[in-house]
Amino acid sequence: MSFRVVLLFLVLAVFLLVGFLHVDLRLLMPLFKDKAQEPPVTNIMFLKTHKTASSTILNILYRFSESHNLSTALPEGSRVHLGYPWLFMTQYVEGLKQDRRLQHHFNIMCNHLRFNFPEVQKVMPSDTFYFSILRNPVFQLESSFIYYKSYAPAFQRAKSLDDFLADPGRYYKANVSLNNVYAKNNMWFDFGFDNNAPADEDYVRKCLAEVEQRFHLVLIADYFDESMVLLRRRLRWQLDDIVYFKLNVRSQSTVSRLTPESQERAQRWCALDWQLYQHFNRTFWAQLHAELRPHQLTEELEQLRARQRELTALCLQDPESKNSTHVVDRNLRPYQSGEAKILGYNLRPGLDTTTLGFCQRMAMPELQHMAHLYSLQFPNKTPKAISIRKK
């Protein structure tokens, strides 16, 4: 029997076995072969919403930017945000303030800003992939209350979020301060809309359609690993590009347990955020199920989690995050805000230089990471002074 005939029989046998076992042939490849041959997406705009696990995504994007020698649109001068809470303008980006022609396009944009599409278009290339992330507004508001307790006037006098939600009008005054955007429909505001607008059906429908038109993907923080699996596929990235350590995480001692009544009140109080979340929660799952079969999703989730267990064992002295006062390396101490106790990591001692650098980037908090990239991109500019408040 000739070699070609034997080979043909073997190929047929494999296909019959695959069909019999109901195995998707694409799982036998690292990623779809046609996709693997395409280059990774490198022009990306991430709308970083507040208290939605977005700091962890920012870390992922910063690491990808540095490892692929890309440029990131960073806050100008001593700023740490791109003009937030004002609508984004190009003048907030380092390197564009004096350039009226705006010929310099960046690869990645991911710092906090209030979305303003016409201005963002001036900074990012035409083929940019736009994505963002949402979180259940009940839990997002709970996190905001603790994190911005001393910052948002609406939160300052309230004893608890339950107390605030029992009578929001007693505390919340829309025109007192822009800092009150954290207290009502904050995600809606981040997308560039009026967080105090009535939840009119036609208005909401129009805004949702605008988000769908502008953004290629909206992730859901409540299903973060599933979000990373879908994001990796859409960006054609490698597994190590989207592995992560959870950043900007609070101690459980500062997490409030809301009553069922308060949870219902939070949904009504943040009605615009609630409709935004419900809509894109549905679209997220529709896109995920269109992209992967259930067994594929299970396998890719396990690959992600297994790799993260490996990196946790490689990098971290203790897999559990620590109170900031117990984090030895100052560059890894997270910023502290409001009544939240933000946790950080200690790295394993004795790591070699290459591994140490990789692990530091994985565990580095947002502000220090931004300052690090700023110094790399603008070595002739004054480094950003990052002050980390202790608790």
pLDDT at 26: 39
pLDDT at residue 327 greater than cutoff 70: yes
pLDDT at residue 30 greater than cutoff 60: no
> Strands, E, within 165-213: which ranges?
none
Q: What is the 3-state secondary structure (H, E, C) of 331-352?
A: HHCCCCCCCCCEEECCECCCCC
Q: pLDDT tens, 173-198?
A: 988 889 999 999 999 999 999 999 99
Using a cut of 0.85, tell me whether the model's pTM lies above it: yes
What does the alpha-carbon distance between residue 391 and residue 387 come to, in Å, rounded to a whole number?
13
Residue with tokens 């209350």, as numbered in its chain: 145
Among residues 110, 117, 108, 52, which one has the least CA distance to residue 81?
A: 110
Q: Once rounded to an integer, what is the mean pLDDT over residues 338-347?
A: 94
What does the alpha-carbon distance between residue 272 and residue 275 come to, in Å, rounded to a whole number?
5
Please report which helix (H) or strand (E) contains residue 64, including its range. Answer: helix 54-67
Query: How many other β-carbons are positioned within 10 Å of the β-carbon of residue 29?
Result: 12
Please give the single-letter amino acid code of residue 176.
Answer: V
> Strands, E, within 64-192: which ranges?
108-109, 129-134
| Cis, peptide link before residue 85, omega less than 30° from 0 | yes
Mean pLDDT across the chain: 90
pLDDT at residue 210 greater than cutoff 90: yes
Q: pLDDT tens, 244-296?
A: 999 999 999 889 899 999 999 999 999 999 999 999 999 999 999 999 999 99
Residue with tokens 């970083």, as numbered in its chain: 48
pLDDT at residue 39 greater than cutoff 50: yes
What does the alpha-carbon distance between residue 83 and residue 63 come to, in Å, rounded to a whole number?
23
pLDDT at residue 355 greater than cutoff 70: yes
pLDDT at 9: 55
SS3 366: helix
What the chain holds in terms of domains, given with CATH numbers, is 40-377 (3.40.50)
pLDDT at 96: 81
Q: pLDDT tens, 95-140?
A: 886 555 555 689 999 999 999 999 999 999 999 999 999 999 999 9
pLDDT at residue 90 greater than cutoff 70: yes
Please report which helix (H) or strand (E) contains residue 310, including its range. Answer: helix 294-315
SS3 206: helix
What does the alpha-carbon distance between residue 284 and residue 292 come to, in Å, rounded to a whole number?
12
Percent of the chain having pLDDT more than 70? Answer: 87
